[in-house]
Structure 1
Amino acid sequence: MALVAGVDIGNSTTEVCLARFSGRNIEFLAGGLVKTTGIKGTTANLPGIINALEDALKKAGLTMSDLAEIRLNEATPVIGDLAMETITETIITESTMIGHNPSTPGGIGLGGGRTVAFSELSAVRAGEKVIVIIPGGIDFEAVAAALNTAHQRGVDVQGAVVRQDDAVLIANRLCKKIPVVDEVTFIDKVPLDMLAAVEVAEPGQTIKTLSNPYGIATVFELSPEETRLVVPIARALIGNRSAVVVRTPQGDVKARTIPAGFITITGRRGKVDVDVEAGAVRIMEEVEKIQPVQDVQGEAGTNVGGMLERVRQVMSELTAQPLAEMKIQDILAVDTFMPQKVQGGLAGEFALENAVALAAMVKTSRLPMQQIADQLTARLGVKVVIAGVEANMAIRGALTTPGTAQPLAILDMGGGSTDAAIVTRDGVVQAIHLAGAGDMVTMLINSELGLDNIDLAEDIKKYPLAKVESLYHVRLEDGTVRFYEQHLPPAVFSRVVILKDGEMVPIPTTHPLDRIRHVRREAKKRVFVTNAVRALARVAPTGNIRHIPFVVLVGGSALDFEVADMVTDSLAEYSIVCGRGNIRGSEGPRNAVATGLVLSYPDGKA
């Protein structure tokens, strides 16, 4: 009898399959799963491997000394990195606008007039249209009383801009309804004695006039050339419930295109330079024309150039291999949006600008895996074998899923890469590693929702959403309602929440549930579905994805509550039987490679 452990070192997790061989009989005993320590395929993986082995052995009631052999996958080190290249940027100088969206502006409507300081309100002549600028430190009741007094003596107060969070309190005490915008951080920078417009929309609505260049032209009586210049202002204000625009004589408004740089892609079929500004679709068209990719270089001094070099340097240091040997094996480009700070804004304004997200992957030699095996043998005193190529082992494990047979393809969607492999009827295996997977989805969610919180974006990716409509019920993202016998925590009332492990995690943004859900689903489609089709087309024997009869989804991302359904739907048009794997009929999509490693014993054939 022999006790054998198969160890799969993945980008995100390290998995173990523990089995006992008795002649030709095999008994699967236990499995282990821990987070991968270090970058896949480097000696930093050792602590994770040992922890996973100890976990599995403990479950089986065995010790390390009982092991006859440890079988590792031939995990060629793969490292991915991400970069965002902004293509346009809104530049607004001379404090020309406040593209503002506080959660609780006051009043309603559109007002226009000359900006005056609150302290100078008493000197304004009757009949003059004014926008009152109110600094911090003044009580809302005193503000309301002063505005009412000015109105009673004939001053046409058209609106107010407030430093503090007092808009509703002030508006509720006014004898004349006017738009009031609050929470303006740099209130002291609002230019005085200038023509301005203030707009506040009804609850649930967005502004109509100041987000329309022709609306701004009407308010300020602009010429056609001046109207052209305010387009960036209007764009930055789209979707806001409130806004302030101030016209200054020296104001300079323009949309500036930032050179995003270019990338040089070298493939087996040629070499091409692509300007990142051309967008993700163009980049991916060129990648597919010359694939398989052999290397990618980025223009020096740009985000993408720095990112690609960083990937090379990190892998070179980890594997002690020359930097010149580090080649980018694949890239994935996705069109997205990136919050860009509005230069000259007065309340920390951001505008969503066009951007291209890039994921890159570099692959090195097999050498580091032998280092892992040697060090593992020295530490544990157990025979360690590099048993076979990862794709071959994954195929073996996937074939234990009930209802599968050769020919069969697998899709392994992890954190940094999407891997595909296919085995033909005669046992020939073809595999591909492509850049872009779960980490890129998280980055897109983080950027497009303006979260600046990767952990929160990761939770949004992994779990469904709900809107807390009362202290006793929530509306789930599919529209169904769930009631509770005990009241919910007050902190989640009227908030969009993440349903995570039986708890409700409030999302600290003003985005509605539908918007968050749309961003999440679109990010997954643009990465997972795109790469699934791309990967299968690469490994299909004839290059035609329709010639693949079965696809089994394995890996951590196959456990996602919606990714598997998205991929299945996208492959349905090709008449492919696709679904989550169920390794050994019991493990779900996990443990495919580790199981395959065990099944390859004792012949050691890949």
Structure 2
Amino acid sequence: MKLIAGVDIGNSTTEVCIGDMQADGSIRFVSGASRMTTGTKGTPANVGGICAALEEAMDKVQRPVSDIHLVCLNEAAPVIGDTAMETITETIITESSMIGHNPSTPAGAGQAVGELIFLEHLGEGIKGQPYIVAAAAVHTYEEIAGQLNAHHGRLDIRGLILQADEAVLVENRLVFEIPIVDEVRHIRNIPEGKQAAIEVALPGQTVRMLSNPYGIATLLKLTPQETRSVTPIAKNLIGKRSAVVIKTPHGNIRENILPAGEIYLHGDREAMVNIDAGADKIMAALEGAGLIRDISGQADTNVGNMLSRIKIGMAEVSEEALDAVRITDILAVDTMAPVQISGSLAGETCMEKAVGIAAMVKTKQLPMERIARRLQRELMVNVKVAGVEAVMASLGALTTPGTQLPVAVLDMGGGSTDAALIECDGTVRTTHQAGAGELVTLLIQTELGLKSRISAEQIKKYPMAKVESLFHMRLENGQMQFFQESIDPRYFGHVVLLTPGELLKIEEDIPMEKIYNVRRDAKRKVFVRNALRALREVAPDHELKAISNVVLVGGSAEDFEVPEMLMEELSEYRIVCGRGNIRSSEGPRNAVATGLVLSYLGGK
């Protein structure tokens, strides 16, 4: 009796399968476990997670780890995700010339134009001159309202800018109506004495004049040349509830185009593509370059710095020389990223085009051999590197009921998408593509501007609802769900994630429809595109119609909507596609670990 352990080191999780070699030469599966991967995939830091997973699996059969006859490891190639910005335009305003944000409580409505003046200088105001008043947080809302009311008869006060979140409190105490913008963080940077236009939209609407360059020109009486210079400001104010634009007389508004950079593909054919061209052109150039030996970027550019940072990071964790680290594949997807506006007064950001990139990093030496040696020293058991992930996943996938040869297997993990096609005669074609679940998480976090990566991961994994009363919620598919008992009041009016057993509140104030669209778009851009790319690579003559069956395995195959997306996409080619059910019990997980155990049988 021999216990054989298969260990699949993934970007996110390390999975273990324990098989018992029977006297008749068959394998009986007895246990399994899953733990978070420690360190970067394919580095010696993985040993901690492997040991923890093996101990958990052996505890289930009440045997010590030392009873294992052989530990079989997969060949693991690290995949690192990062973003490179494409055609980013940064609006630089040296005199803090714009405000445009969505405070929760602006007050009043309409537009106003006037000269900027601080509250404490109202006594110096000139009769007949229209004013926009700025009040710092050192003044209470009662003091602000009292000062404005006192000067109302003498001065022409058209609008108000507040630093604190007190617009409604001030408005309720005024004897006249004006538009009020609050929550302006750097209010002391406002240039007093300059002309400013202020606009507050009605509830449920957005600003119209200040999000239009000709509207700004109308309010501030700009020349055609000045109108052209405020175009980036108008663009950044689209969709805002309130806004302020300040006229600066010396051309202090300019656009600075940051260099995105070029990607150099070193393969069968040398190729170069500028990241400004977008994801489609990048992936077309990658395909045209043939077998890739390495990928690099233009020096002192966004993409060049990003690729260099990836290589340096990999060299450090793998303890290899920098010239031994190569990037052998990338997946590029178009996205949008929030960019901080330099000189803004309220922390404003604007959405700019970006390219999300997942890169596959390899070293000249096989890192798995080093992991195997270290694991053998720590556990005092035999350890070997048994096979390529895609092949092992195929062996494991064949334990799914209803599968037969020929079959294609898609292993969708956290960092990579592996594909393999096993023919009836046993020949196998494999490919290892960069990009999977972690890149989806990165895109969701970037496009929604989330501070927490954990929040992005949860949004990726769970469906949503909007709690519209204490007794019902609107699901993301439009259906209503009613409850006999009251929902916790903390969730009222919020978007929540429907996790097993509890609701998770999304803290950011983002419409459910936007989250839904960003989440699904990110999954299509990564999973669907990469799946088609991988399947074409292994298909006979690179024709998808030559594939009849596809089994989906890996952690990302458990996603609640990705398999359906792929089934819909592959139905055009008459391909049978669905989640695997490894060993009739594990669902789509544990395919590689199971395959590693089966590989011990060799040709039997």
Equivalent residue, structure 2, for 1:523:
522
Equivalent residue, structure 1, for 2:50:
49
- Answer yes or no: is 1:405 the counterpart of 2:376: no
Task: Give the secondary-structure state (helix, strand or coil) at the position aligned to 1:68.
Answer: strand
Task: Give the secondary-structure state (helix, strand or coil) at the position aligned to 1:590.
Answer: coil
Cα deviation for residue 115 of structure 1 reads 1.7
Contact 1:419 1:434 (C-alpha < 8 Å) held by counterparts:
yes
Task: Give the secondary-structure state (helix, strand or coil) at the position aligned to 2:542.
Answer: coil
Equivalent residue, structure 1, for 2:449:
450
Contact 2:77 2:360 (C-alpha < 8 Å) held by counterparts:
no
- Inter-CA distance 588–365: structure 2 relative to 1 (3 Å threshold): farther
Measure, in 2, the Cα distance between the counterparts of 1:229 and 1:577. Answer: 56
Contact 2:79 2:434 (C-alpha < 8 Å) held by counterparts:
no
Aligned residue type for 1:178: I
Task: Give the secondary-structure state (helix, strand or coil) at the position aligned to 1:573.
Answer: helix
Contact 2:237 2:243 (C-alpha < 8 Å) held by counterparts:
yes
Cα deviation for residue 482 of structure 1 reads 2.7
Contact 1:93 1:251 (C-alpha < 8 Å) held by counterparts:
no
Task: Give the secondary-structure state (helix, strand or coil) at the position aligned to 1:385.
Answer: strand
Task: Give the secondary-structure state (helix, strand or coil) at the position aligned to 2:71.
Answer: strand
Measure, in 2, the Cα distance between the counterparts of 1:209 and 1:68. Answer: 75
Measure, in 2, the Cα distance between the counterparts of 1:365 and 1:116. Answer: 66
Contact 1:80 1:417 (C-alpha < 8 Å) held by counterparts:
no
Aligned residue type for 2:170: I
Equivalent residue, structure 2, for 1:131:
132
Contact 1:387 1:604 (C-alpha < 8 Å) held by counterparts:
no
Measure, in 1, the Cα distance between the counterparts of 2:384 and 2:135. Answer: 74
Measure, in 1, the Cα distance between the counterparts of 2:362 and 2:532. Answer: 22
Contact 1:409 1:423 (C-alpha < 8 Å) held by counterparts:
yes
Task: Give the secondary-structure state (helix, strand or coil) at the position aligned to 1:142.
Answer: helix
For residues 105-126 of structure 1, give each alpha carbon's deviation from its aligned partner in whole angstroms, at most 9, with x where no partner exists: 1111111122222233345455
- Farther off after superposition, 534-543 or 567-576: 567-576
Q: How does 1:115-154 map to 2 (within 5 A)?
A: 115-151=116-152, 153=153
Cα deviation for residue 449 of structure 1 reads 1.4
- Farther off after superposition, 395-404 or 505-514: 505-514
Aligned residue type for 1:398: A
Aligned residue type for 1:523: A
Measure, in 2, the Cα distance between the counterparts of 1:36 and 1:140. Answer: 53
CA-based RMSD: 2.1
Cα deviation for residue 481 of structure 1 reads 2.5
Equivalent residue, structure 2, for 1:483:
482
Cα deviation for residue 511 of structure 1 reads 1.6
What count of residue pairs does the alignment treat as equivalent? 602
Aligned residue type for 1:259: P
Equivalent residue, structure 1, for 2:104:
103
Measure, in 1, the Cα distance between the counterparts of 2:339 and 2:582. Answer: 45
Cα deviation for residue 366 of structure 1 reads 6.4
Measure, in 2, the Cα distance between the counterparts of 1:125 and 1:337. Answer: 47
Cα deviation for residue 242 of structure 1 reads 0.4
Cα deviation for residue 276 of structure 1 reads 1.8
- Answer yes or no: is 1:361 the counterpart of 2:331: no
Measure, in 1, the Cα distance between the counterparts of 2:380 and 2:191. Answer: 76
Q: How does 1:72-91 map to 2 (within 5 A)?
A: 72-73=73-74, 75-87=75-87, 88-91=89-92
Contact 2:210 2:216 (C-alpha < 8 Å) held by counterparts:
yes
Measure, in 1, the Cα distance between the counterparts of 2:537 and 2:302. Answer: 29
Q: How does 1:48-447 map to 2 (within 5 A)?
A: 48-73=49-74, 75-87=75-87, 88-151=89-152, 153=153, 155-268=155-268, 270-364=269-363, 367-447=366-446
- Inter-CA distance 387–142: structure 2 relative to 1 (3 Å threshold): closer
For residues 230-285 of structure 1, give each alpha carbon's deviation from its aligned partner in whole angstroms, at most 9, with x where no partner exists: 110001111110001111212422222111121111222x1122222222222122
Contact 1:7 1:71 (C-alpha < 8 Å) held by counterparts:
yes
Contact 1:76 1:364 (C-alpha < 8 Å) held by counterparts:
no
Equivalent residue, structure 1, for 2:513:
514
Cα deviation for residue 149 of structure 1 reads 4.0
- Inter-CA distance 488–251: structure 2 relative to 1 (3 Å threshold): farther
For residues 123-143 of structure 1, give each alpha carbon's deviation from its aligned partner in whole angstroms, at most 9, with x where no partner exists: 545543221112222222332
Cα deviation for residue 177 of structure 1 reads 2.6
Aligned residue type for 2:41: K
Contact 2:466 2:473 (C-alpha < 8 Å) held by counterparts:
yes
- Farther off after superposition, 231-240 or 8-17: 8-17
Contact 1:81 1:307 (C-alpha < 8 Å) held by counterparts:
no
Equivalent residue, structure 2, for 1:10:
10
Measure, in 1, the Cα distance between the counterparts of 2:368 and 2:79. Answer: 15
- Farther off after superposition, 466-475 or 257-266: 466-475
Contact 1:72 1:387 (C-alpha < 8 Å) held by counterparts:
yes
- Farther off after superposition, 103-112 or 568-577: 568-577
Contact 2:141 2:169 (C-alpha < 8 Å) held by counterparts:
yes
Aligned residue type for 1:239: G
Q: TM-score, normalising length from structure 2?
A: 0.94
Task: Give the secondary-structure state (helix, strand or coil) at the position aligned to 1:301.
Answer: coil
Measure, in 2, the Cα distance between the counterparts of 1:283 and 1:300. Answer: 18
Equivalent residue, structure 1, for 2:595:
596
Equivalent residue, structure 2, for 1:38:
39
Equivalent residue, structure 2, for 1:553:
552
Contact 1:91 1:254 (C-alpha < 8 Å) held by counterparts:
yes
Measure, in 1, the Cα distance between the counterparts of 2:179 and 2:308. Answer: 51
- Inter-CA distance 427–25: structure 2 relative to 1 (3 Å threshold): closer
Aligned residue type for 2:595: G
Equivalent residue, structure 2, for 1:567:
566
Contact 1:76 1:366 (C-alpha < 8 Å) held by counterparts:
no
- Inter-CA distance 164–319: structure 2 relative to 1 (3 Å threshold): closer
Measure, in 2, the Cα distance between the counterparts of 1:273 and 1:193. Answer: 52
Equivalent residue, structure 2, for 1:469:
468
Aligned residue type for 1:214: Y
Aligned residue type for 2:477: D
Aligned residue type for 1:19: G
Cα deviation for residue 84 of structure 1 reads 2.5
Aligned residue type for 1:182: D
Cα deviation for residue 62 of structure 1 reads 2.4
Measure, in 1, the Cα distance between the counterparts of 2:144 and 2:314. Answer: 62
Aligned residue type for 1:245: V
Measure, in 1, the Cα distance between the counterparts of 2:308 and 2:114. Answer: 53
Measure, in 1, the Cα distance between the counterparts of 2:385 and 2:248. Answer: 71
Measure, in 1, the Cα distance between the counterparts of 2:251 and 2:161. Answer: 19
Please, which runs of 5 or more residues in structure 2 have no aligned partner? none
Aligned residue type for 2:235: R
Measure, in 2, the Cα distance between the counterparts of 1:147 and 1:378. Answer: 78
For residues 203-234 of structure 1, give each alpha carbon's deviation from its aligned partner in whole angstroms, at most 9, with x where no partner exists: 22111110111111111122222111111000
Cα deviation for residue 583 of structure 1 reads 0.8
Aligned residue type for 1:174: L
Aligned residue type for 1:464: P
Q: Percent identity?
A: 52
For residues 499-539 of structure 1, give each alpha carbon's deviation from its aligned partner in whole angstroms, at most 9, with x where no partner exists: 33433332232221111121111111111111111111111
- Inter-CA distance 487–129: structure 2 relative to 1 (3 Å threshold): same
Measure, in 2, the Cα distance between the counterparts of 1:42 and 1:245. Answer: 52
Cα deviation for residue 549 of structure 1 reads 0.9
- Answer yes or no: is 1:534 the counterpart of 2:529: no
Task: Give the secondary-structure state (helix, strand or coil) at the position aligned to 1:561.
Answer: coil
Task: Give the secondary-structure state (helix, strand or coil) at the position aligned to 2:32.
Answer: strand
Aligned residue type for 1:21: M
- Farther off after superposition, 418-427 or 77-86: 77-86
Cα deviation for residue 8 of structure 1 reads 1.6
Measure, in 1, the Cα distance between the counterparts of 2:253 and 2:228. Answer: 9
Aligned residue type for 1:406: L
- Farther off after superposition, 463-472 or 365-374: 365-374
